[in-house]
A and B are shown apart, each in its own frame.
Chain A
């Protein structure tokens, strides 16, 4: 196996992990743009997606499609409840206290998941088999195609939603200036609730499609959430292509770092490059100056 073949595989592996990071990162971006806070509980919705699916599949013996839909619904309900119970009652709280509240919320959700479902790791069957697909010199699994497809569809849908629907435009208005949005009759609090619903649904979807590959347990959300956060930062907190590129860059750096340099330092390599990017372009690689995109 010569170096060219290896690099092809590194790039493809990086692309598939990067797509996951992107999907999680978009969830961060949506809430950030509607509320100005970073929701550190986003990783827990990824975990909830996977764990609810395992629960519906194995405990209630429901078919896969039903389990997936129910899992997304359940995670969304948790997201909405989280907003109502933990974020909304904090009137006039500064964004930094809200961020700390989301960290507390993530610990609580993780703790409850551990008590309810235990500490074991669970596997889900892949959606369409385990036969590797040969792409040139490299291989991927059918599940990776699912990940690419879902990420693409979600990004396109969110683009359409934010650009062409009333509520999407209203949410963008809140992002630019929530006070002004309130004055023209937009219910800002409802928009915040929406943003939590959308991003928890997205996070859980990410958790579900990756669970067959990476397996799931009560604590998978921590690391995945962090990586998704990095993707969103590199992408300048955009809910569109910026974060997708951010995720893919992160995934490919990790994979090349592990393959070519040292697997022991692969996270370090990825995070050092993240730091360099932030030094040079604190607003993210793709954000233009001061303008905010939703």
Chain B
């Protein structure tokens, strides 16, 4: 009798221990690939910061279905070779269930074959449209395609009955992708590109290009680049007394640009994600809640304004969280659930993925803003 009761006791105790260990289940590992240092650090640093911040918050609130998340992030330095090495490490050694990042299109394209082969879902934070066109089974992205920003600008030009534009793009990856999109979509909006010029990323004077544009009969100028080039372009345009409407890309949608261009920024129009105008949005805007939460959190943790780039990581983690909540922590299940995401209002826009669309956004992901009195204002 004694033997039997001790047996039962042992059984119950071991059950209890098992249950206990199930409660403290191992964390769900998520990999991160961010270009924290190197030339693309302006992308990677806020992305890594945001990803860590969101993961900490999810864990503080009890994790996903009672299990904690663990972010294992590596620095790719914006170098495709390092990105591939880090991706292999995440998959083989760390055994992550999903990957966030990389930050740049180059890194992402290099990592895609590795991730596809290992059958691990990946949500890239880079903008290049070729990442999800054609659709790759395991690859998703959160950053808005350049093409959507072009569509925003062309839509506005069409509304104003402007048909002749001059484009001035920077001669790097961002600029040439923008230039391709600007040329490809022009016809659909009845727009004629009358002058097609470029400038170098380190150029300090663009008056020659702008003088040429002034003589080209263009009715508007579209400049495509990231700081500091566009600030030089705005200053030069003011110097030359160029009275044409000046459009910039979403590459300069931060207060930094206004600081650099100073007075010359006045009146410049640009497509932008909603982060920089979060507090100006109407309360009916579906993204407003997420946006304000993100901006406030980032300010609190890092003493800097949350930007679009951090937003891409915020969206990626939240999309993953949703997928894990619905489908569990198996990579294949996460992938299937990601693809079923509908109407998720994040930072970059309202995401709806489908088997034929792994970018998930429409041109509504961008709003058109104008710089007025050294601040951004929404253009209705």
Chain A: residues with CB nearer than 8 A to chain B? 1-3, 5-6, 9-10, 13-14, 16-17, 119-123, 125, 130, 132, 139-141, 210, 213-215, 217, 219-220, 222-224, 254-260, 263-264, 266-267
Contact = CB atoms under 8 A, between A and B. Distances in A.
Smallest CB-CB A-B distances: 10 pairs? A214-B204, A258-B208, A121-B228, A13-B207, A1-B215, A263-B197, A259-B208, A255-B208, A9-B211, A223-B202
A139 B231 contact: no
Contacts of B171: 264
A139 B202 contact: no
23 contacts: A5-B215, A6-B214, A13-B211, A119-B42, A121-B231, A122-B260, A123-B259, A123-B261, A139-B241, A141-B239, A210-B204, A220-B202, A223-B202, A224-B204, A255-B207, A257-B208, A258-B197, A258-B212, A259-B209, A260-B212, A263-B209, A263-B212, A267-B200
Contacts of B262: 123, 125, 130
B261 to A, nearest CB: 8
A14 B41 CA distance: 34
Contacts of A139: 239-241
B305 to A, nearest CB: 13
B231 to A, nearest CB: 6
Contacts of B204: 17, 210, 213-215, 220, 223-224
A251 to B, nearest CB: 9
B303 to A, nearest CB: 14
B49 interface: no
Interface string B219-262: 00000000110011001001111000000000000001001111
A9 B207 contact: yes
A228 B280 CA distance: 47
A120 B228 CA distance: 9
Nearest to B211: A9
B154 interface: no
Residue among B214, B238, B239, B259 facing the most chain A CB atoms (10 A cut-off): B239
Contact of A222 (B199, B202, B238, B240): B202
B198 interface: yes
Given A14-B208, A254-B208, A263-B197, 13 more contacts: A6-B214, A13-B208, A120-B256, A121-B227, A123-B260, A130-B238, A139-B240, A215-B232, A255-B207, A258-B209, A259-B208, A259-B211, A263-B199
A67 B365 CA distance: 44
Contacts of B212: 6, 258-260, 263
A229 to B, nearest CB: 15
Nearest to A16: B205
B231 A132 contact: no
A256 B212 CA distance: 10
Nearest to A144: B239
B208 A266 contact: yes
Contacts of A213: 204-205, 235
Given A3-B215, A259-B208, A132 B202 contact: no
A14 to B, nearest CB: 8
B263 interface: yes
A10 B209 CA distance: 9
Given A17-B205, A132-B241, A214 B215 contact: no
Interface string B8-46: 000000000000000000000000000000000110000
A32 B202 CA distance: 26
Contacts of A259: 208-209, 211-212
Given A139-B239, A139-B240, A213-B204, A6 B259 contact: no
Nearest to A126: B262
A266 B200 CA distance: 9
A74 B200 CA distance: 30
A219 B262 CA distance: 21
A174 B199 CA distance: 43
Contact of A130 (B200, B211, B263): B263
Nearest to B256: A120
Nearest to B42: A119
Contacts of A17: 204-205
A2 B241 contact: no
A6 B213 CA distance: 10
Given A139-B239, A214-B204, A263-B208, A6 B198 contact: no
B205 A214 contact: yes
Given A120-B256, A123-B262, A130-B263, A10 B211 contact: yes
B344 to A, nearest CB: 33
A10 B42 CA distance: 34
B41 A263 contact: no
Contacts of A222: 202
Interface in B140-157: none
Contacts of B259: 123
B35 to A, nearest CB: 12
Interface string B178-221: 00000000000000000001111010110111011011000000
Given A2-B215, A220-B202, A263-B198, A215 B208 contact: no
Contacts of B264: 130
Nearest to B227: A121
B155 to A, nearest CB: 27
